[in-house]
Protein backbone atom coordinates (compact mmCIF):
# COMPACT_ATOMS: atom_id res chain seq x y z
CA UNK A 1 0.00 0.00 0.00
CA UNK A 2 1.62 3.21 -1.15
CA UNK A 3 1.91 6.16 1.14
CA UNK A 4 -0.50 8.19 -0.93
CA UNK A 5 -3.15 5.59 -0.34
CA UNK A 6 -2.76 5.99 3.39
CA UNK A 7 -2.93 9.77 3.13
CA UNK A 8 -5.94 10.07 0.83
CA UNK A 9 -8.46 8.71 3.36
CA UNK A 10 -7.41 11.46 5.72
CA UNK A 11 -7.97 14.10 3.05
CA UNK A 12 -11.45 12.89 2.24
CA UNK A 13 -13.45 14.17 5.22
CA UNK A 14 -11.94 17.64 4.86
CA UNK A 15 -12.89 18.06 1.22
CA UNK A 16 -16.23 16.42 1.89
CA UNK A 17 -17.19 18.82 4.66
CA UNK A 18 -15.75 22.06 3.37
CA UNK A 19 -15.78 21.65 -0.40
CA UNK A 20 -12.90 22.39 -2.71
CA UNK A 21 -12.58 26.11 -2.14
CA UNK A 22 -13.38 25.87 1.53
CA UNK A 23 -10.53 23.46 2.11
CA UNK A 24 -7.10 24.94 2.80
CA UNK A 25 -3.67 23.38 2.75
CA UNK A 26 -3.34 24.03 6.46
CA UNK A 27 -6.46 21.99 7.12
CA UNK A 28 -5.15 19.18 4.94
CA UNK A 29 -1.78 19.32 6.66
CA UNK A 30 -3.36 19.10 10.06
CA UNK A 31 -5.68 16.28 8.98
CA UNK A 32 -2.82 14.19 7.65
CA UNK A 33 -0.25 15.09 10.27
CA UNK A 34 2.12 16.08 7.48
CA UNK A 35 3.67 19.43 6.69
CA UNK A 36 2.44 21.34 3.68
CA UNK A 37 5.72 20.70 1.91
CA UNK A 38 5.39 16.98 2.53
CA UNK A 39 1.96 17.01 0.96
CA UNK A 40 3.57 18.55 -2.10
CA UNK A 41 6.09 15.76 -2.14
CA UNK A 42 3.29 13.23 -2.54
CA UNK A 43 1.01 15.38 -4.64
CA UNK A 44 3.14 17.59 -6.90
CA UNK A 45 -0.02 19.16 -8.34
CA UNK A 46 -0.87 20.51 -4.90
CA UNK A 47 -4.42 21.07 -3.82
CA UNK A 48 -5.83 20.25 -7.22
CA UNK A 49 -3.83 17.04 -7.28
CA UNK A 50 -5.11 16.03 -3.87
CA UNK A 51 -8.67 16.71 -4.89
CA UNK A 52 -8.17 14.67 -8.03
CA UNK A 53 -6.69 11.80 -6.04
CA UNK A 54 -9.60 11.97 -3.62
CA UNK A 55 -12.12 11.96 -6.46
CA UNK A 56 -10.54 8.88 -8.02
CA UNK A 57 -10.35 7.15 -4.68
CA UNK A 58 -14.00 7.85 -4.04
CA UNK A 59 -15.00 6.84 -7.55
CA UNK A 60 -13.38 3.54 -6.75
CA UNK A 61 -15.19 3.12 -3.44
CA UNK A 62 -18.44 4.03 -5.12
CA UNK A 63 -17.87 1.58 -7.90
CA UNK A 64 -17.19 -1.14 -5.41
CA UNK A 65 -20.06 -0.40 -3.04
CA UNK A 66 -22.77 0.67 -5.45
CA UNK A 67 -21.99 -0.18 -9.05
CA UNK A 68 -20.51 -3.64 -8.61
CA UNK A 69 -23.74 -5.10 -7.18
CA UNK A 70 -25.52 -3.83 -10.27
CA UNK A 71 -23.11 -5.64 -12.54
CA UNK A 72 -23.19 -9.07 -10.99
CA UNK A 73 -25.44 -11.89 -12.15
CA UNK A 74 -28.22 -11.76 -9.58
CA UNK A 75 -31.80 -11.00 -10.43
CA UNK A 76 -32.61 -7.30 -10.97
CA UNK A 77 -34.51 -6.79 -7.74
CA UNK A 78 -31.68 -8.33 -5.77
CA UNK A 79 -29.18 -6.11 -7.57
CA UNK A 80 -31.17 -3.06 -6.58
CA UNK A 81 -31.44 -4.30 -3.04
CA UNK A 82 -27.68 -4.68 -2.86
CA UNK A 83 -27.17 -1.26 -4.36
CA UNK A 84 -29.31 0.19 -1.60
CA UNK A 85 -27.17 -1.50 0.99
CA UNK A 86 -24.10 -0.14 -0.75
CA UNK A 87 -25.56 3.34 -0.82
CA UNK A 88 -26.29 3.35 2.89
CA UNK A 89 -22.74 2.35 3.54
CA UNK A 90 -21.21 4.72 1.01
CA UNK A 91 -23.14 7.74 2.24
CA UNK A 92 -22.82 6.72 5.88
CA UNK A 93 -26.61 6.61 6.30
CA UNK A 94 -26.90 10.03 4.72
CA UNK A 95 -24.41 11.78 6.94
CA UNK A 96 -21.84 12.06 4.15
CA UNK A 97 -22.16 14.80 1.61
CA UNK A 98 -22.06 13.64 -1.99
CA UNK A 99 -18.71 14.41 -3.57
CA UNK A 100 -20.19 14.75 -7.01
CA UNK A 101 -22.56 17.42 -5.76
CA UNK A 102 -19.81 19.18 -3.84
CA UNK A 103 -17.44 19.22 -6.79
CA UNK A 104 -20.04 20.43 -9.25
CA UNK A 105 -20.02 24.14 -8.58
CA UNK A 106 -17.71 27.04 -7.96
CA UNK A 107 -14.11 26.76 -9.01
CA UNK A 108 -14.29 22.99 -8.66
CA UNK A 109 -16.82 22.86 -11.47
CA UNK A 110 -14.36 24.15 -14.05
CA UNK A 111 -11.67 21.80 -12.75
CA UNK A 112 -13.64 18.61 -12.23
CA UNK A 113 -16.98 19.20 -13.93
CA UNK A 114 -16.35 16.84 -16.78
CA UNK A 115 -15.11 14.05 -14.51
CA UNK A 116 -18.12 14.52 -12.25
CA UNK A 117 -20.47 14.33 -15.21
CA UNK A 118 -18.88 11.10 -16.41
CA UNK A 119 -19.20 9.54 -12.97
CA UNK A 120 -22.85 10.45 -12.70
CA UNK A 121 -23.53 9.23 -16.21
CA UNK A 122 -21.87 5.94 -15.39
CA UNK A 123 -24.19 5.47 -12.46
CA UNK A 124 -27.22 6.44 -14.52
CA UNK A 125 -26.33 4.07 -17.34
CA UNK A 126 -25.58 1.17 -15.04
CA UNK A 127 -28.85 1.60 -13.22
CA UNK A 128 -30.79 2.00 -16.44
CA UNK A 129 -29.42 -1.26 -17.79
CA UNK A 130 -30.65 -3.12 -14.74
CA UNK A 131 -34.13 -1.70 -15.12
CA UNK A 132 -34.24 -2.66 -18.77
CA UNK A 133 -33.09 -6.12 -17.80
CA UNK A 134 -36.05 -6.16 -15.40
CA UNK A 135 -38.41 -5.60 -18.31
CA UNK A 136 -38.97 -1.89 -18.01
CA UNK A 137 -39.13 -0.01 -21.28
CA UNK A 138 -35.97 1.92 -22.11
CA UNK A 139 -37.45 5.42 -21.89
CA UNK A 140 -39.07 4.60 -18.56
CA UNK A 141 -35.84 3.04 -17.37
CA UNK A 142 -33.93 6.21 -18.09
CA UNK A 143 -36.51 8.40 -16.40
CA UNK A 144 -36.65 6.23 -13.31
CA UNK A 145 -32.89 6.04 -13.01
CA UNK A 146 -32.72 9.80 -13.09
CA UNK A 147 -35.55 10.08 -10.60
CA UNK A 148 -33.83 7.68 -8.23
CA UNK A 149 -30.54 9.55 -8.23
CA UNK A 150 -32.43 12.82 -7.92
CA UNK A 151 -34.13 11.54 -4.83
CA UNK A 152 -30.90 10.41 -3.26
CA UNK A 153 -29.21 13.73 -3.94
CA UNK A 154 -32.16 15.64 -2.63
CA UNK A 155 -32.31 13.44 0.44
CA UNK A 156 -28.67 14.15 1.22
CA UNK A 157 -29.37 17.87 1.10
CA UNK A 158 -32.37 17.57 3.39
CA UNK A 159 -30.37 15.49 5.82
CA UNK A 160 -27.67 18.11 5.86
CA UNK A 161 -30.01 21.01 6.41
CA UNK A 162 -32.41 19.38 8.85
CA UNK A 163 -29.65 17.46 10.59
CA UNK A 164 -31.80 14.34 10.53
CA UNK A 165 -31.00 11.18 8.62
CA UNK A 166 -34.61 10.06 8.35
CA UNK A 167 -35.19 11.49 4.85
CA UNK A 168 -32.23 9.56 3.50
CA UNK A 169 -33.28 6.33 5.10
CA UNK A 170 -36.81 6.72 3.78
CA UNK A 171 -35.50 7.51 0.31
CA UNK A 172 -33.39 4.37 0.30
CA UNK A 173 -36.23 2.27 1.66
CA UNK A 174 -38.57 3.50 -1.07
CA UNK A 175 -36.09 3.13 -3.89
CA UNK A 176 -36.87 -0.44 -5.02
CA UNK A 177 -40.60 0.19 -5.12
CA UNK A 178 -40.15 3.43 -7.02
CA UNK A 179 -37.87 1.80 -9.56
CA UNK A 180 -40.00 -1.27 -10.20
CA UNK A 181 -43.54 -0.04 -9.62
CA UNK A 182 -45.87 -0.60 -12.56
CA UNK A 183 -47.15 2.63 -14.10
CA UNK A 184 -50.61 3.81 -13.05
CA UNK A 185 -52.09 4.38 -16.46
Partner DNA sequence: TTTTTTGTACCGAACGTTCGGTTGACAAGT
Partner DNA sequence: ACTTGTCAACCGAACGTTCGGTACAAAAAA
Contact residues toward DNA (CB under 7 A) are 3, 23-27, 33-38, 40-42, 44, 46-48
Q: Which of 106, 137, 138, 173 binds a second copy (CB under 8 A)?
A: 106
Own/partner contacts of 25-34, CB < 8 Å, gap of 24 or more, are 32/7, 34/7
Alpha-carbon torsion 10, 14, 15, 20, what sign? negative
Q: How far apart are CA 110 and CA 113, in angstroms?
A: 6
Instruction: Rule CB under 8 A: say whether 171 interacts with a second copy.
Output: yes
Minimum CB–partner distance for residue 134 and a second copy (Å): 18
- Output 53 or 100, the one with its CB closest to a second copy: 100
Among DNA, a second copy, none, residue 59 binds (CB under 5-8 Å by kind): none
Q: Which stretch binds a second copy (CB under 8 A): 16-24, 43-51, 54-62, 87-95?
A: 16-24
Applying CB under 8 A, the site for a second copy has a residue count of: 41
Instruction: Rule CB under 8 A: say whether 19 interacts with a second copy.
Output: yes
- Output 6 or 92, the one with its CB closest to a second copy: 92
Contacting residues toward a second copy, per CB under 8 A: 17-19, 21-22, 97-98, 100-102, 104-107, 109, 113, 116-117, 120-121, 143, 146-147, 149-155, 157-158, 160-163, 167, 170-171, 181, 184
Amino acid sequence: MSKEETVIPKLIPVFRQYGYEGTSLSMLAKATGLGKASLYHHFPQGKEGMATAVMNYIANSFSQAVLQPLNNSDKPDKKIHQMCRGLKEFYNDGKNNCFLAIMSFGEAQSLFGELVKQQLQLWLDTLEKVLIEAGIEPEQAELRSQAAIMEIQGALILVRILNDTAPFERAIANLPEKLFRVPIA
